Amino acid sequence: MDDPRYSDWKPMMADARTDYPAQYYARYDTSSPQPSGVTGWFDTWSLSSTQNLPAASAMLPLTQAQWNTRMTGPQGVENGNLVAYTPPAPAIPLKEQAASELSWVATQASLATAMGETFTDAMRVYVKVIQAIASGSDTTSAALPARPTQIMT
């Protein structure tokens, strides 16, 4: 082309086939502990641009068979291999756990009132600890305390 606006233009397919010779790739976090969940699947030869893709060396090249079965369930990468992957459970902040636990406490308080009973001393201490964590005034606890075995008297 003679137009200067297109001086850096190259046919996409030629670049993709050179830069991504395997055609199919799985993206994953190479810095996280393995197995690391796949965060993207790419048929690089079908893309109109590979400008925003990581380098082929930063992804796992896939065979046609792996590409065809990529959607059969969560997959991860471990030691350069595609493996079945179970994502870790999300970490719930302690303050949120305490707020949720206060709902259980409120239910127990309603039951105690309905039955004409009161909380045991251990339950009262437990409630105060949970309230402190939920309000943010307790910033040193790393986990919720165990529920008391005796709740009502």
Asked if residue 108 lies in contact with residue 151, where contact means CB atoms within 8 angstroms, the answer is: yes
Percent with pLDDT over 70 in the chain: 91
Q: What is the pLDDT of residue 14?
A: 56
Reported as a pLDDT band with limits 50, 70 and 90, residue 7 is low
What are the CA-CA distances from residue 110 to residues 49, 128, 138 (Å)? 62, 17, 26
84-132 pLDDT, tens digit each? 999 988 999 999 999 999 999 999 999 999 999 999 999 999 999 999 9
Q: Is the pLDDT of residue 57 over 80?
A: yes
Q: What is the pLDDT of residue 3?
A: 60
- Average pLDDT along the chain: 91
Q: What is the pLDDT of residue 8?
A: 54
The domain limits of the chain are 10-84, 89-153
Which residue from 129, 6, 128, 25 is spatially nearest to 82, judged by alpha carbons? 25
- Predicted model pTM: 0.58
For residue 28, what are the β-bridge partners? 38
End-to-end CA distance of the chain: 89
Asked if residue 97 lies in contact with residue 46, where contact means CB atoms within 8 angstroms, the answer is: no
Q: What is the pLDDT of residue 48?
A: 87
According to DSSP, the β-strands at 81-84 and 75-78 are antiparallel
Which residue from 99, 90, 97 is spatially nearest to 142, judged by alpha carbons? 97
